[in-house]
């Protein structure tokens, strides 16, 4: 059953595309509603952000000529709200037939509107294609655990699978998997992603971690919420001294979403993976 909070969201419903700039289509969703369901209460004093990359941006210059661009939008995990993704797409497309004197003018509008909707400052960076792009793809760094031969029989979140290696000493390592999949809580459509776990503490059982990651396969939750759930489950089960959880999801509707949460401040590489 769809969360009643989402009953009026554009996602999962027919919604006309705006024919002119319209910030009112943005649909905020309070983070706190989902955070109340997480294993760790009270929530940890974590760091993090949700990095959105947009590949279908356009507007008109003052003479009516189209400008095309890509964009990066960074929402702090401390913002009270996330933005429902279809409403974000509708909002970005509301710029298509509107005229602006400069990239900076469009960026100022977006920073104002998104910050107002999220309840905290949002960093916006727009890159017209005329400036050139030299970005290369690369996988998330870390030891890929996908080759571990495990039997799988759990496809809903099973944090009880998580464990440390018995008698494990403290290690510092980075693990990654490309087998992350969850589903949209409104439409049920699959969300595919890659996951990076960076931690310092008792060594995590890699087979158990892989089985846990795959256990989200039938789970219905937004990207940001999935990352927070995984962070809390790993912290609760393995008690690391430091933990960093970073997911990069494949795009839908010209947008990809890449949340990260960490126990310490970090600089995160926003370089795309092969599937992005």
Residues known to be catalytic: 184, 191
How many CB atoms within 10 Å of residue 253? Answer: 15
As given in the structure block, the two tokens for residue 41 are 């209460």
CA-CA-CA-CA torsion sign (211, 213, 215, 218): negative
- In degrees and rounded to multiples of 5, residue 75 shows phi and psi of -100, 125
Cβ neighbours around 160 below 10 Å, total: 12
- According to the annotation, is 86 in a ligand binding site? yes
Give the integer Cα–Cα distance in Å for 245 and 263. Answer: 9
Within 32-162, strands assigned E span 47-60, 66-76, 81-83, 122-128, 143-144
Residues in CB range of 15: below 8 A, 6 or more apart: 25, 86, 90
223 is in an annotated binding site: yes
Cβ neighbours of 17 (radius 10 Å)? 12
Rounded Cα distance, 85 and 216, in Å: 20
**Is residue 214 marked as binding?**
no
- To the question of whether residue 215 is assigned a binding role by annotation, the answer is no
- Would the annotation count 89 as a binding residue? no
Contact 237, 159 (CB under 8 A): yes
Is 224 annotated in some ligand binding site?
yes
Report whether 101 belongs to an annotated binding site: no
Give the C-alpha distances (Å, rounded to integers) separating 164 from 13, 160, 168, 201, 211: 44, 12, 7, 9, 13
The answer to whether 211 is annotated as binding is: no
Q: Which residues are annotated as a binding site for substrate?
A: 83-85, 223-224
Instruction: Give the residue ranges of the annotated binding site.
Output: 83-86, 223-224, 252-253
Binding-site annotation, residues for NADPH:
85-86, 252-253
């Amino acid at each position: 059953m769809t969360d009643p909070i989402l009953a009026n969201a554009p996602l999962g419903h027919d919604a006309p595309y705006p024919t002119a700039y319209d910030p009112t289509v943005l649909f905020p969703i309070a983070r706190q509603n989902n955070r109340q369901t997480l294993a760790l209460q009270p929530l940890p004093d974590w760091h993090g952000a949700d990095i959105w990359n947009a590949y279908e941006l356009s507007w008109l210059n003052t003479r009516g000529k189209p400008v095309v661009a890509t964009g990066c939008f960074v929402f702090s995990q401390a913002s009270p709200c996330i933005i429902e993704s279809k409403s974000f797409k509708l909002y970005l497309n509301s710029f298509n037939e509107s005229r602006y004197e400069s990239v900076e003018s469009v960026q100022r509008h977006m920073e104002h509107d998104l910050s107002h909707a999220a309840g905290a400052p949002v960093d916006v960076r727009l890159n017209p294609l005329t400036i050139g792009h030299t970005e290369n793809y690369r996988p998330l760094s870390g030891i890929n655990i996908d080759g571990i031969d495990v039997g799988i029989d759990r496809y809903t979140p099973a944090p009880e699978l998580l464990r440390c290696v018995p008698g494990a000493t403290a290690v510092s390592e980075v693990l990654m998997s490309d087998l992350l999949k969850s589903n949209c809580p409104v439409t049920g459509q699959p969300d595919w992603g890659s996951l990076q776990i960076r931690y310092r503490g008792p060594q995590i059982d890699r087979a158990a971690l892989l089985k846990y990651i795959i256990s989200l396969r039938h789970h219905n939750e937004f990207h940001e919420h999935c990352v927070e759930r995984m962070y809390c489950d790993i912290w609760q089960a393995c008690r690391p001294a430091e933990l960093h959880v970073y997911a990069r999801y494949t795009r839908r509707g010209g947008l990809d979403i890449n949340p990260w949460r960490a126990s310490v401040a970090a600089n995160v590489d926003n370089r795309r993976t092969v599937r992005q």
